[in-house]
Structure 1
Amino acid sequence: MVLKASDIPKGLGGTGLVGSEVIRSAIKHQFITHIYAVVRKPLDPKLADNPKVTQIIHDDFEKWDEDRLIRLFEHEGVQGCIWCVGGWTNKFPSLQESQRVNIAMPHSAAETFSATLSPSSSAIAQSKNKRGIAFRFIYMSCTGAEQNPFASLWYAADSRKTKGAAEKGLFELADSRTPGSFEAYAMRLGKVLPGGQSVYNLMSMGSSTSISDTLVARCAINLVLDGRTKEEGGRVFSLE
């Protein structure tokens, strides 16, 4: 989903568990003034009817160039994206389809957004925001994501390498841009459970890779608003 904030980054999303919770949390956030929810199917009316939300039905997540969305986002000053499209490879009919959704789609969006929505060098130089004004792209990765395609993995190898390849490509894109203009972050998620803070409290008492949807949403919003320095942990954020 694309978030619009006051004097802080403005972010793209979905209708699944994580995407829906990110929208709910963004609605409540005091610094986010508007949310552009780019979806393939309609949102829950409880979300879509909120005055802070603009729902945009978009069929092809691989095509963004010269699109009405880019013109809208440029006009509105959108400055960040929380990408909630994707999933584990075993949820797709083939490895190729998983790679298309998990790698090609976010890379296409990030390429377009970094080229059209990132701040100019002069805007970066003039900004007084201590956290910077870079366009921030937040990617939902998976626990154990592996960026080395030749690594020998004992479990979920296709999923972990697919997500790792997406991370690597996004980070390389960020590194190729003007410093301070575009940042990419990967959130490595374990099993995400609905239920908010109560689920998080329960799971945190034991050793589990399960986390709550509310925690994921809060962390994603914090990243798109403020980013994260190397000293704070860098661009891979593990919620495992």
Structure 2
Amino acid sequence: MTKMKVILTGATGFIGTEILEQLIAHKYITHIYALTRKELDAKFSTHAKVTQLLHPDFSQYPESLLAQLKGYGVEGCIWSLGGKHADYKSKEEAEKVGISFPVQAAEIFAKYLATELDPLAPPNKQKFPFRFVFISAWGAEQDQFRALWLWNDSRKIKGAAEKGIFDVADNAELKAGKRCFQAIALRPGVVIAKGDGLGTVITEGVSMVAVPRIAVDRLAKQAVRQVLQGGNDPNKRILENHECLGDDWAQMNTLSM
């Protein structure tokens, strides 16, 4: 397996923190560049495998930052920046963070950071394309005109982001017959604390709906696996909750709300 340096966003959040811990622990991840608006916890910011890059405005990427990242040789990104729709002051702010930020990042990374494949490299030495792993959500809906009776705005925001990122991948530069940029979306349901396989989560009074759930450590493990290896099927770029759980997915519980 080839070693790799990656970008991580959302590293101070619930999911991002677990992803960061697993990236640090993974022997094939040699370094993590955390693009973050807030200071990391000291145990991360001082870690030898972590470089904290304070980035207060995700609507722009200065040439100096891109040159820095390219010089580091990063070959992948896990995008876990974002939050619940209710966390934002307005729909416009939620769309900015949930759609504009990840899609713009994908466009810029595809243009400036994507690995140029070497057609002369032996198969076992071939660098993989730049992988962009997007933490989406259960029920993400790419069709913005479809009527949804449950979590309409949140699901459509995630779906719009997926579509935009996949469009970037579909139009990425070709090298040796392969796209230099690959996008993968993970669609977790309710993300719960690691090890909490049987706990009950109560939300907003919606009834008669079964929503899958996943422990945060399982989701993080799948995110790291995807950025490092990609999937077995290169044409499959959406992983639903049960696929994120891993080989022992039968242990999955559902939540009635």
Shorter-chain TM-score bucket reads: 0.7 to 0.9
Q: 2:78, 2:181 → 1: CA distance? A: 14
- The counterpart of 1:59, out of the listed 56, 59, 64, is 56
d(CA) in 2 for partners of 1:45, 1:140: 25
1:115 aligns with 2:118: no
Q: Tell me how far 1:212 sits from its aligned partner.
A: 1.2
Q: Aligned residues: percent identity?
A: 38
Which residue, 162, 170, 185 being the options, matches 1:167?
A: 162
Structure 1 counterpart of 2:30? 33
Q: Which residue of 2 aligns with 1:88?
A: 84
1:125 Cα deviation from its structure 2 partner: 5.3
Q: Of the candidates 47, 52, 61, which is equivalent to residue 50 of structure 1?
A: 47
Match of 1:3 in 2: none
Q: Is the 8 A contact 1:18 1:84 kept in 2?
A: yes
* Change in 2 beyond 3 A, CA 1:65/1:228: farther
Q: Is contact 1:131–1:227 with CA below 8 Å preserved after alignment?
A: no
Deviations 1:138-160 (A, max 9, x none): 11111100001111111000000
Aligned match of 1:215:
218
Query: Aligned partners of 2:108 and 2:90: how far apart in 1?
Result: 26
Q: Give the one of 58, 66, 69 matched to 1:70.
A: 66
Determine the structure 1 residue equivalent to 2:192: 193
Q: How much does 1:229 deviate?
A: 4.2
* Partner secondary structure for residue 55 of structure 1: strand
Quick one: which amino acid aligns to residue 22 of structure 1? I
* Aligned mates of 1:158, 1:44 — CA distance in 2: 32
Counterpart of 2:237 in structure 1 is 235
CA–CA distance in structure 2, aligned partners of residues 89 and 124 of structure 1: 44
Q: Does 1:147 align with 2:142?
A: yes
Deviations 1:162-191 (A, max 9, x none): 100000011011000123310011111212
Conservation of the 8 A alpha-carbon contact between 1:36 and 1:55: yes
Paired residues in the alignment total 226
Query: Is the partner of 1:72 in helix, strand or coil?
Result: helix
Work out the CA distance in 2 between the residues paired with 1:124 and 1:115.
19
Q: How far apart are the structure 1 equivalents of 2:220 and 2:182?
A: 18
User: Which runs of no fewer than 5 residues in structure 1 stay unpaired?
Assistant: 1-5
Structure-2 change in CA distance of 1:229 and 1:151 (3 Å): farther
TM-score (norm 2): 0.82
Q: CA deviation at 1:85?
A: 0.7
Judging changes above 3 Å, is the alpha-carbon distance between structure 1 residues 223 and 7 closer, same or farther for their aligned structure 2 residues? same
Please give the root-mean-square deviation of Cα atoms over the aligned residues, in Å. 2.0
Per the alignment, in what secondary structure is the counterpart of residue 142 of structure 1? coil
Confirm or deny: 8 A CA contact 1:9 1:133 kept in the other structure.
no
- Check conservation: 2:4, 2:30, Cα contact below 8 A: no
1:7 is displaced (CA, Å) by 2.9
Secondary structure of the 2:136 match is strand
Q: Of 229, 234, 237, which residue of structure 2 is paired with 1:226?
A: 229
- Residues 142 and 228 of structure 1, relative CA distance in 2, 3 Å threshold: same
Give the distance between the partners of 1:97 and 1:54, measured in 2 at CA. 28
- Compare CA radii of gyration and give the structure with the larger one: 2
